[in-house]
Structure 1
Amino acid sequence: MTSPRAWLIWIVGIFAYLVAVTERTSFGVVGLEATERFHASAAEISFFTVLQLLVYAALQIPVGVLVDRFGSRAMIAGGALLMGLGQLELAFAESIPGGVLGRVLVGAGDAMTFISVIRLLPIWFAPARVPLLTQLTGMSGQLGQLFSVLPFAMILHSAGWTPAFLTLAAMAVLAVVLVLVLLQDHPPGRAAPEPSQGLRATGVTLSHAWRQPGTRLGLWSHFTVQFSGTVFAMTWGYPFLISAQGLDAVTVSALMTLYVASAIAAGPLMGRFVARHPLRRSTMVLLIAAGTAAAWAAVLLLPGRSPLWLLAGLVVVLAIGGPGSMIGFDFARTFNPAHRLGTASGIVNVGGFIASLVAIFLIGVVLDVLHTTGFSRGELYGLEPFRIALSVQFLLLAGGAGAIMVTRRKVRRQMAAQGVVVPPLRVALARQRRISAERRRQR
């Protein structure tokens, strides 16, 4: 039976992750205000988020190694402290360098949070609970995005830039206090890992994690289905909906709320699917990627502005990509031993954020090029420029899906050598129908 202490540890962990998501996504709400405050172009505004994500992605593997060495408590508390300092810097920044420094600190602190929280789950909970709890962790953390869309945006528009970012800094300080007071790395009586290891041993751990095809399958799964929602929520969704689609701020807030609600609803369903059909995880990832491409194609190819129902459908599909990307961490968990889980999770987490920063930067560059050449007719964030700029996502979706297919073959060959054969999908579906029919007859 799971102890009450384990649930408390989990609650503190997801609060820290909620704060991290709030800090991460807050800049997606202030894109227009930041353009005016820093007198910045579209590419410069995208650079804020690109650099933040670059720092995040670059630190994932080092953080994975460090969390395996020092534990989750130290890493989560240190990450919250860095995010608080970053938001404090942003609160008073009036130039691009000052704002960039703030986002770098936020990115560094954010990088230390999620995989540290995920690492706690197999330590405190039974293996059968971990897939669902992984989804619930990601789902709960997404409430932080809801905070950035609603309360933070309200504070920004009513009280101004500085009070809004000081509020975010205060949230980070609260997370530091709760983690230091309540969170523990291991249950009482369970031996802690060695506090340090040599550089060679660290390199061996990293090499073994990377050479495991299941780790790379997790990385490409995360790469393919996570980035489009991140691009939408962190940077370009708000300007696209306001300036290109002509929606008012209230409607955009409602769509962003729908995004979070859809991710929350999809999380438990995804967790149950992974637990019941572990041999069909990559198929689910590919279906989500196909759905993402179809939803963007419908919005970008439609003449004129899209109806609200179609934009809502796009938001729902993008939101599903968040829980879908958690499948990547389940690959890391099932194909790696516990002592290198943090390292493997760090490798997986690099994928989606590299794809995100590439997409965010390219979209900003394309928008600026179209504006400079006169194609956008003076509208930097007009509908036609956004149609072209947002289409760069199709390249990343296609490349990621291809990498999944290649890596999946290697994983299945490895599984076959171990005596585990993945049946064709039609055979699996027929078997599932027979099982369901038998259960109905028994009832």
Structure 2
Amino acid sequence: MSAATEGRHAGPVPKDPPGGREAVAVWSIGVAVYFVAVIFRTSLGVAGLDAADRFQVNASALATFSLLQLLVYAGMQIPVGLMVDRLGTKKVLTLGAVLFTAGQIGFALSPSYGMALAARALLGCGDAMTFISVLRLGTRWFPARRAPLMAQLAGLVGMAGNLVSTLVLAPVLHGIGWVPAFAGSAVAGLVVLVPLVLFLRDHPDGYGSPPVARAAGRGAAGRFVRRQIADSWREPGTRLGLWVHFTTQFPAMVFLLLWGMPFLVEAQGLSRTAAGGLLTLIVASNMAFGLVYGQVVGRRQGARIPLALTTVGVTAALWAAVLVHPGDRAPMWLLVTLCVVLGTCGPASMIGFDFARPANPAERQGTASGITNMGGFLASMTTLLAVGVLLDATGDDYRIAFSSVFVLQVLGTSQILRLRGRALARERSRAAAAVPCAQAAAPAADPASPPAAAGV
């Protein structure tokens, strides 16, 4: 890429947001919306067996619920990224909250399998609008050095939503029934809409980047879309971020979203209570490791690739150990270890955004994040379907069905190794070029002024 092109893409050096209490308050509103979206997204994971009984479907049809939801989610990532870049965070988050709440209500009241599928698709559409918006809030309200930690904290709050599904929705579902449980949970979507509409702002006063100009006419709008996508994809950091997300996230997602509970109950002979406890362990492990990964990556950028590849390797090793263990059932200590390790998958997937973020200017952050976020959900979608099809084809042989995980891990790891050198070299050259620009843009310090306080 020429120097002139580089300058056009990089744009002026933006001011670093100060953080502070107001930033925490605004960011918390966005994260609350994401928290509710994750509760709705993962609610099927604790209701998979109930859904199979309610709609009288087999494993492949049951997998279609999550598959369609993830298909919509993954397919919406680039459009949502473009919407965030064009419309701003508040409008996109508001639309998302309305859609996923309507989807949850529709799922509660659906009398047939087809209507339930449509409701999950609507839920997936709204869910797709939340996480990229929250990432955008983090970069617009907090200093750049806080970005990895804020992204991990957002993921941690999302996993807390998963925890609510496991600890609250599951017993409520079995206690009061399908319709009251799902319809009652939809109230949470209405609750988060109120502060979202009243108080959320896209960025602090004086710290917003110039808005992306609206294109005049359909042709100009199409050129804008193509340019945003092409410029983001051209950056090796964006592609590396996608493959890191692809390779690290999906084993835990597949386990939590649908197949973990049936595997633990039907293949491992555990009670629903014990299986729910192991799913809860994954969430708790994710939350703990999220804080660790965020701190490590924030302080040492060189740890990103080693952390991601180590997570993939250890996950594959534990997954294989459970599947090849002699006898019909793995010992509890091995299942516990697997679940603890699966908890690292979510934090490791967030590292993908730490490659896409520095590779793209502020006006492309939404698009680049959307491309990155597609990775893990494409892998999850593929594996959810593969497991369901293989279970039906093999008479519920989980060893064969769950072995499909290794195929995607090998594919993703090969792409990470292929792209890492180019992406890291590009990142170093961009950082070196940005230093003199930032120094030239910074105002002269007043010798009589005290040093500024660090942002939160």
Superposition pairs for residues 79-118 of structure 1, below 5 Å? 79-118=96-135
Q: Which residue of 1 aligns with 2:371?
A: 347
Residue 59 in structure 1 maps to residue 59 in structure 2: no
Instruction: Indicate the SS of the match to 1:13.
Output: helix
Letter in 2 for 1:43: S
Checking the alignment, whether the CA contact within 8 Å between 2:80 and 2:370 is kept in structure 1 is yes
Residue 187 in structure 1 maps to residue 204 in structure 2: yes
State the Cα distance separating 1:3 from its structure 2 match.
Answer: 2.9
State the Cα distance separating 1:273 from its structure 2 match.
Answer: 1.2
User: How big is the alpha-carbon RMSD for the aligned residues of Structure 1 and Structure 2?
Assistant: 1.5
**C-alpha deviations, 1:188-246, integer Å up to 9, x for none?**
24456146343212311211100100000000000000001000000100100111111
Letter in 2 for 1:108: C
Letter in 2 for 1:81: V
**C-alpha deviations, 1:159-193, integer Å up to 9, x for none?**
00001111221111112222112211121244561
Checking the alignment, whether the CA contact within 8 Å between 2:248 and 2:308 is kept in structure 1 is yes
Checking the alignment, whether the CA contact within 8 Å between 2:237 and 2:427 is kept in structure 1 is no
Return the alpha-carbon distance in structure 2 between the equivalents of residues 131 and 334 of structure 1.
Answer: 11
Residue 5 in structure 1 maps to residue 22 in structure 2: yes
Q: Which residue of 2 aligns with 1:395?
A: 407
Of 31, 39, 59, which aligns to 1:42?
59
Letter in 2 for 1:395: V
State the Cα distance separating 1:94 from its structure 2 match.
Answer: 2.4
Q: Percent same amino acid at aligned positions?
A: 45
State the Cα distance separating 1:126 from its structure 2 match.
Answer: 0.9
Return the alpha-carbon distance in structure 2 between the equivalents of residues 218 and 416 of structure 1.
Answer: 16
Checking the alignment, whether the CA contact within 8 Å between 2:85 and 2:212 is kept in structure 1 is no
Letter in 2 for 1:343: T
Return the alpha-carbon distance in structure 1 between the equivalents of residues 213 and 169 of structure 2.
Answer: 39
**C-alpha deviations, 1:368-410, integer Å up to 9, x for none?**
1112xxxxxxxx4xxxx01110000000011100011011132
Checking the alignment, whether the CA contact within 8 Å between 2:42 and 2:256 is kept in structure 1 is yes
Return the alpha-carbon distance in structure 2 between the equivalents of residues 130 and 349 of structure 1.
Answer: 16
Of 159, 162, 166, which aligns to 1:142?
159
Instruction: Indicate the SS of the match to 1:2.
Output: coil
**For residues 189 and 275 of structure 1, do their structure 2 counterparts lie closer, same or farther at Cα, with a shift above 3 Å needed?**
closer
Letter in 2 for 1:98: M
Q: Which residue of 2 aligns with 1:291?
A: 314
Checking the alignment, whether the CA contact within 8 Å between 2:153 and 2:290 is kept in structure 1 is yes
Checking the alignment, whether the CA contact within 8 Å between 1:37 and 1:94 is kept in structure 2 is no
Residue 360 in structure 1 maps to residue 372 in structure 2: no
State the Cα distance separating 1:42 from its structure 2 match.
Answer: 0.3
4+ residue stretches of structure 1 with deviation over 2 A? 188-192, 194-199, 412-420
Q: Which residue of 2 aligns with 1:174?
A: 191
Letter in 1 for 2:340: V
Letter in 1 for 2:211: P
Instruction: Indicate the SS of the match to 1:150.
Output: helix
Moved more, 349-358 or 408-417: 408-417
Superposition pairs for residues 251-330 of structure 1, below 5 Å? 251-304=274-327, 305-330=329-354
For structure 1, which runs of at least 5 residues remain unmatched after alignment?
372-379, 421-443
Of 200, 210, 214, which aligns to 1:196?
214
State the Cα distance separating 1:415 from its structure 2 match.
Answer: 4.7
Checking the alignment, whether the CA contact within 8 Å between 1:226 and 1:322 is kept in structure 2 is yes
Letter in 1 for 2:61: E
Superposition pairs for residues 26-37 of structure 1, below 5 Å? 26-37=43-54
Return the alpha-carbon distance in structure 2 between the equivalents of residues 120 and 417 of structure 1.
Answer: 27
Checking the alignment, whether the CA contact within 8 Å between 1:70 and 1:195 is kept in structure 2 is no
**C-alpha deviations, 1:417-442, integer Å up to 9, x for none?**
6697xxxxxxxxxxxxxxxxxxxxxx
Q: Which residue of 2 aligns with 1:155?
A: 172
Letter in 1 for 2:295: R
Q: Which residue of 2 aligns with 1:375?
A: none
Return the alpha-carbon distance in structure 1 between the equivalents of residues 192 and 346 of structure 2.
Answer: 23
Of 244, 251, 256, which aligns to 1:233?
256
**C-alpha deviations, 1:31-54, integer Å up to 9, x for none?**
111111111010000011001000
When normalised by structure 2's length, the TM-score is 0.87
Checking the alignment, whether the CA contact within 8 Å between 1:209 and 1:215 is kept in structure 2 is yes
When normalised by structure 1's length, the TM-score is 0.89
**For residues 251 and 190 of structure 1, do their structure 2 counterparts lie closer, same or farther at Cα, with a shift above 3 Å needed?**
same
Moved more, 268-277 or 51-60: 268-277
Letter in 2 for 1:153: A
Instruction: Indicate the SS of the match to 1:94.
Output: coil
